[in-house]
Amino acid sequence: MSKNFSDDRNQQQGLQMNRRKFLKAGAAAAVTMGLMGTVGAMPAVAAEAAVGSSVTVNGARSKLKPTGQYGPASVKFATFNNEWLGTTKLVGEVKNINEAETGFSRAGRGLYGKESQIGRGYFIRKDPAGAAEHDTLMILATEPAVQGKVSPVKLNVPDPEQMSQNIKDFAYYLRADEVGIGKMPDFAWYSHKVTDQHALAVNDVEKAVTPVTDRLPYVIIVMVDQNLETMLASTGYDQISGAQSFLGYHATGVIAVVLANYIRNLGYNARAHHARNYKAVMTPCIISAGLGELSRTGDCSVHPRLGFRHKVAAVTTDLPLLPDQPIDFGLQDFCRVCKKCADNCPSGAITQDTEPVEYNGYLRWNSNMETCTKFRTTNKEGSSCGRCMKVCPWNTKEESWFHSAGTWIGSHGQISSKLLKGMDDMFGYGTEQIDKYKWWLEWPELLATPEKMPGLVKY
């Protein structure tokens, strides 16, 4: 059952404390509320982290960004082995997924109804900015772009750590916000990739897919922020929502294609994966590369500084590299008590269960992929949806000592998680819309009749 949040938005915002006034009031107000006492109780190193310095870095150090990019969160390192993918317990065989069974592919096959099947072909075109970003990425989706020729001259790479540093620096130079290197999880590869959209549209899966036989040992993840101000001004499911996703998708796609080309110029195999041409599921790769933990949504990872407010692309490669470790910033405890994404999901797709369940070999929370995909492909108020991204406390950040302290607190178990969640709710983080940041134009007629748009491309 869909919820309508528009009607009570003003009322909610009226009840919430004006956090800007509070932040201006500074430490005096904090002392009144007893929050400085909490900061004062932190260990010295952590208290330093809470006011803005960085934690120890993972893996090879970048020269351009030599310290950790985790923000104020308290981060430990976890492992990737047969039993654990970071903080996610592996309780059985994780089967490789056929791309034809993913949410948007199932919508394209007509399994979620006609409206969703048609909507899947044009929802991004409900906003001209989203369509522009999408179409640009399509130009980079060809096989020569993602997997071109490898140079016949293989250059010597004597030091994998130095090479890893160089790869991270090149990606930062190309304007990535985060870069991580992971051991490629074998189960992250798709078993089959959709290669024939026409066959998919008539649900001829056998003809629509091709087996994926690639097996390269490392994955490089490049991550781009979806823009704080845009998120603060948006509902998360309005006209800019699809464009915000494709900001991250097209930007990371460009970086991944160039990075893969660079590695092939060194004489090593490299394949770019982006939103218009994946051969692998990204979330296990993100976790392996130390850029997030699996969240309550089941399919999406949260980064300790950016939350969900990011998109990624990847490069798989056999270039000699030093992989990073997965990270643990306390998200499992936090998600157990928070449920803010579930409370705010307009389609009710995210579980309210307290404990994770077994799903395809993972112990994880399980969201309803069908309900979410149907909403995103048929949303009458906007293009797609990212409401869960907007409300998650880990990405609703402004630069302030107050939020830094809260984020540090949130990394320390369930009781502290309740405190951060309470602070987040009290200040209206994640649910407000700040008009001064609304930079985009809207065309409601495109929401009503996008299928009549010139240049409609179904995919």
Contact positions vs ligand SF4 (CB under 6 A): 295-297, 302, 334-335, 338-341, 345-347, 349-350, 367, 372, 375-376, 385-388, 391-394
Instruction: Write down the least CB distance from residue 178 to ligand SF4, Å.
Output: 18
- For residue 3, the minimal CB distance to ligand SF4 (Å) is 10
Output the smallest distance, CB 369 to ligand SF4, in A.
9
Q: Which residues make Cβ contacts (< 8 Å) with residue 286, sequence separation at least 6?
A: 180, 221, 223, 292, 301, 312
List, as one string, the DSSP characters of 57-93.
P-SSPPSSS-S---TTS--EE--BSSSEETTEEB-S-
Q: Output the six-digit token pair for 368.
A: 């309803």
Kindly list the distances between the CA atom of residue 79 and the CA atoms of 8, 225, 287, 358, in Å, as whole numbers in the listed order.
44, 26, 10, 20
Residue 53, number of CB atoms within 10 A of its CB? 11
At closest approach, how far in Å is the CB of 389 from ligand SF4? 7
Q: Which is nearer to ligand SF4, 287 or 392 (CB)?
A: 392
DSSP codes of every residue in 357-397: EEETTEEE----HHHHHHHHHH-SSSSS--HHHHH-TTT--
Shortest Cβ 394–ligand SF4 spacing (Å) = 6
Is the CB of 268 or the CB of 329 nearer to ligand SF4?
329
Which residue, 166 or 234, has its beta carbon nearer to ligand SF4?
234
Residue with token string 């010139």: 454
* Residues 75 and 413 sit within 8 Å (Cβ to Cβ): no
Residue nearest to ligand SF4 (CB): 338
- Does residue 333 contact residue 380 with C-beta atoms inside 8 Å? no
Question: Which tokens in the block code for residue 112?
Answer: 């979620």
Residue 16: DSSP 8-state:
S
| Identity of the residue, 37 or 413, whose beta carbon is nearer to ligand SF4 in the bound complex | 413
Q: Give the residue with the Cβ less far from ligand SF4, 59 or 307.
A: 307
Cα(220)–Cα(323) distance, rounded to whole angstroms? 9
CB of 160 to ligand SF4, least distance (A): 34
CA distance 307 to 305: 6
Provide, rounded to whole angstroms, the least separation between the CB of residue 408 and ligand SF4: 15
Which residue shows structure tokens 């980064």? 303
- Supply the minimum distance, in Å, between the C-beta of residue 367 and ligand SF4: 6
Q: What residues have CB less than 8 Å from 206, skipping those under 6 apart?
A: none
Nearer to ligand SF4, 254 or 302 (CB): 302
Residue 121 vs 386, nearer CB to ligand SF4: 386
Nearer to ligand SF4, 48 or 370 (CB): 370
Q: In the block, which residue shows the tokens 């509902």? A: 235
